[in-house]
Amino acid sequence: MYDLFSDFFDSFDLFPVYREDGRCPSCGRTYYEFQKSGKFGCGKCYEAFENPVRATLKQIQKSTTHTGKIPSKQSAQLAKARRIKELKQQLAASVEKEDYETAARLHKEIKGLEG
């Protein structure tokens, strides 16, 4: 069977081969084995090999955070929803710090975005 990911990783000579002795505590798979097959052994591999995975992803794409694709008709609406969520998190942090001036400004900005 054709293995897309192993061919994909083989095509990048600029990635250092990560040959750490560590293994996933759950399945025992190494990061080197992942590089060869393109597959992790279990869900815990993502935590066990977080640093080399992040380094590889930063070389492949601009961010290590998955944001998904946004349909062009909904991009403004989704961007607005993300901004509101971000502001609400900042508002909660400001209230927790008892920074009421910042909290009031953030509250006003949220209300303006919500309509």
Question: What is d(CA 27, CA 21) in angstroms, rounded to the nearest whole number?
Answer: 14
Q: What is the pLDDT of residue 55?
A: 80
Q: What is the pLDDT of residue 38?
A: 82
The DSSP symbol for 42 reads S
Q: What is the pLDDT of residue 79?
A: 83
Question: What is d(CA 46, CA 51) in angstroms, rounded to the nearest whole number?
Answer: 9
Using a pLDDT cut of 90, give the percent of the chain over it: 29
Residues 81, 67 contacting (CB under 8 angstroms): no
- pLDDT tens-digit profile of 44-89? 888 888 888 888 777 777 666 666 676 767 778 888 988 999 999 9
DSSP-assigned letters across all residues of 50-109: HHHHHHHHHHHSS-SS------GGGHHHHHHHHHHHHHHHHHHHHHHTT-HHHHHHHHHH
Task: Provide the residue ranges of all domains of the chain, joining segments of one domain with +.
Answer: 4-60, 72-114
- What pTM does this model have? 0.41
